[in-house]
């Protein structure tokens, strides 16, 4: 029994699930970005771009809250940002998945390491890092 | 320039960047940033934000294929991610306080280094000699499939590799690139991990590292939907096509031609940075 647990990551089923998780994440998020992109081009195609100087307030959808609010109003830019957000969370989901598989393996050292990596990412989510 | 024209140009450029980036192993980010800044006059902070999103897309997309082959060492990946996520967040926090011209110069230097790494012949230094206490404690040693069956390998100089990865994460967070060339130094040269394992493991880590800094960029407004959308779609589709034709194409000549182009771009970035044009 214990030798079976040790081979958890070698288990092809788990590897296939992990691969599928990543692929679904990428395909889903890119589809959302593309839908938002088409709407954005449809409504804004003739406007002029201005990216010469960086302005932190210009994008408008720069927090999860703002993106969700914009999403409810079906704002094209908010839909693109939501797709980007899904894409960002794809590798994060993979870390969560790995933590669970280490837990099943009873490799508590790596459960701790995984939780540490996850907490760094969550800390960067907290918005405190941007002045 | 109108939104439509800008989107079409960036989409085409990002597609080429993704295609060539995957054929040469350089990655799309290092090509799309010079295109956006030098050719289209986009502020480098926006270019960095868009590039990091494309790094997540290509890394996750190809990791899906690698994972099924079962050679990624998830323990090495997770262990080194401690270094890369902390440093990527630090890099992403610091980058906005840097003058764009400094970023351009650092970027140019990393480009020059990546171009050199691309043409230098890689030597597989992996072996199964007794490794240090750290590698045993963190259970980093592993096996991978070869034609003669499963082969064991030992991981060396874990501390040195960890420090190098920390540096790679800082560069990734500062410049919005995957910094694959630096990760190769850490994993192949310092830790002496076999190629097959290091390539896939480095790719596994890239998505997580990039996600950590992408969140910081997003909060700061560096990820603009109008740029990130064509960049991500273009780079991902180019990289997907690239990985399909890579199997049956010899890339040696392409790499040399491309090293020359990248060197030119690097010098241009450094010159523009020094003369304050960016």
Q: What is the pLDDT of residues A60-95, one digit of tens each?
A: 788 888 999 999 999 999 999 999 999 999 999 989
Q: With an 8 Å Cβ cutoff, is B46 touching chain A?
A: yes
- Residue range B6-25, pLDDT digits in tens: 999 999 999 999 998 888 87
Q: Which of B274, B257, B264 is nearest to B111 (CA)?
A: B264
Six-digit token string for B66? 């690698």
Q: Is A18 on the interface with B (CB under 8 A)?
A: yes
When pLDDT is averaged across residues B121-132 and rounded to a whole number, the result is 78
Residue linked to tokens 């909060």: B219
Question: In this structure, are residues B156 and B132 in contact, taking their beta carbons and an 8 Å threshold?
Answer: yes
B residues 196..215 contacting A (CB < 8 A): 207-208, 210-215
Helix (H) or strand (E) holding B145: strand B142-146
Distance CA B163, CA B83 (A): 7
Compute and round to an integer the Cα radius of gyration of chain B: 18
Model pLDDT for residues B229-271, shown as the tens digit of each residue: 999 999 999 988 888 887 667 778 888 888 998 999 999 999 9
Q: What is the pLDDT of residue A46?
A: 83
Q: How many CB atoms are closer than 10 A to CB A123?
A: 16
Q: Does B38 touch chain A (CB under 8 A)?
A: no
pLDDT tier for residue B131 given thresholds of 50, 70 and 90: low
B221/A127 CB distance under 8 A: no
Residue A3 is predicted with a pLDDT of: 42
CA–CA distance, A97 with B94 (Å, rounded to integer): 30
Write down the pTM of the prediction.
Answer: 0.91
**How many domains does the structure of chain B reveal?**
1
The shortest CB-CB distance from B60 to any of A26, A36, A52 is to: A26
**Spatial separation of the C-alpha atoms in residues A56 and B49, rounded to whole Å:** 12
Structure confidence at residue A125 as a pLDDT band (50, 70, 90) = confident
pLDDT at A7: 53
Which residue range(s) make up the domain with B20?
A: 3-274
Of the candidates B2, B218, B221, the beta carbon closest to that of A45 is on B2
The structure tokens 């991610």 sit at B81
pLDDT greater at residue A67 or residue B96:
A67
Tell me the Cα Rg of chain A. Answer: 19
Element spanning B150, H or E: strand B149-153
CB A15 within 8 A of CB A91: no
pLDDT of A4: 43
Distance CA B91, CA B83 (A): 12
What pLDDT score was predicted for residue B202? 87
Q: Is the model's pLDDT at B190 over the cut of 80? A: yes
Selection from B180, B236, B168, B172 nearest residue B204 by Cα:
B180
Q: Which residues of A touch B41 (CB under 8 A)?
A: 51-52
| Reported confidence tier of residue A2, pLDDT bands at 50, 70, 90 | very low
**Do residues B200 and B35 lie in contact, with contact meaning Cβ atoms separated by under 8 Å?**
no
Q: Count CB pairs under 8 A between chains A and B.
A: 200
Ramachandran sector of residue A130 (left: φ over 0; alpha: ψ -120 to 50; beta: rest): beta
Nearest one of B53, B4, B44, B66 to B234, comparing CA atoms: B53
Return mean pLDDT, chain B. 89
Pick the closest to residue A47 from B146, B1, B226 (CA basis): B1
Residues of chain A contacting residue B78, judged by C-beta atoms under 8 Å apart: 95, 98, 110, 113-114, 117
pLDDT at position A1, please?
37
The H-or-E segment that residue B152 falls in is: strand B149-153
Chain B CB within 8 Å of residue A49 CB: yes
Token duo for residue A39:
């709407």
Please tell me which residue of chain B has the smallest CA distance to A129: B93
- Express each pLDDT in A27-37 by its tens digit: 999 999 999 99
Closest-CA residue to B182 (of B197, B170, B200, B193): B170
């Amino acid at each position: 029994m214990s030798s079976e647990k040790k081979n958890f990551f070698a288990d092809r089923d788990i590897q296939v699930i992990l691969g599928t998780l990543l692929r679904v994440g990428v395909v889903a998020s890119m589809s959302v970005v593309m839908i938002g992109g088409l709407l954005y081009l449809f409504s804004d195609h003739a406007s002029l771009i201005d990216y010469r100087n960086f302005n932190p307030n210009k994008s408008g959808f720069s927090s999860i809250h703002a993106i969700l609010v914009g999403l409810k109003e079906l704002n094209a830019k908010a839909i693109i940002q939501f797709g980007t957000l899904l894409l960002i969370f794809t590798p994060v989901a993979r870390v969560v998945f790995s933590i669970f598989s280490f837990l099943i393996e009873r490799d508590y050292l790596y459960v701790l390491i995984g939780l540490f990596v996850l907490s760094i990412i969550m800390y960067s989510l907290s918005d405190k890092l941007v002045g | 320039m109108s939104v439509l024209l800008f989107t079409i140009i960036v989409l085409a450029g990002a597609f080429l960047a993704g295609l060539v980036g995957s054929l040469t192993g350089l990655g799309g980010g290092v090509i799309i940033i010079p295109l956006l800044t030098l050719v289209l006059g986009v502020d480098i902070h926006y270019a960095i934000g868009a590039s990091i999103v494309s790094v997540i897309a290509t890394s996750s997309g190809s990791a899906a294929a690698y994972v099924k082959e079962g050679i990624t060492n998830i323990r090495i990946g997770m262990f080194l991610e401690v270094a890369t996520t902390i440093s990527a967040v630090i890099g992403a926090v610091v980058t906005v306080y840097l003058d764009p011209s400094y970023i351009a110069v650092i970027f140019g230097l990393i480009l020059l280094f990546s171009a050199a790494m691309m043409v230098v012949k890689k030597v597989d230094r992996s072996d199964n000699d007794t490794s240090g206490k750290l590698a045993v404690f963190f259970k980093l040693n592993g096996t991978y499939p070869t034609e003669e069956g499963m082969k064991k390998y030992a991981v060396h100089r874990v501390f040195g590799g960890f420090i190098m990865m920390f540096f790679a994460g800082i560069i990734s967070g500062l410049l919005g690139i995957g910094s694959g060339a630096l990760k190769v130094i850490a994993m192949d040269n310092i830790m002496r991990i076999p190629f097959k394992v290091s390539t896939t493991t480095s790719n596994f880590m890239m998505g997580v590292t990039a996600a950590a800094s992408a969140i910081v960029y997003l909060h700061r407004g560096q990820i603009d939907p109008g740029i990130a959308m064509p960049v991500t779609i273009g780079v991902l589709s180019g990289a997907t096509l690239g990985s399909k034709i890579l199997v049956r194409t010899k890339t040696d000549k392409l790499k040399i031609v491309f090293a020359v182009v990248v060197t030119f771009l690097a010098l241009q970035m450094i010159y523009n940075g020094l003369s304050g044009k960016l």
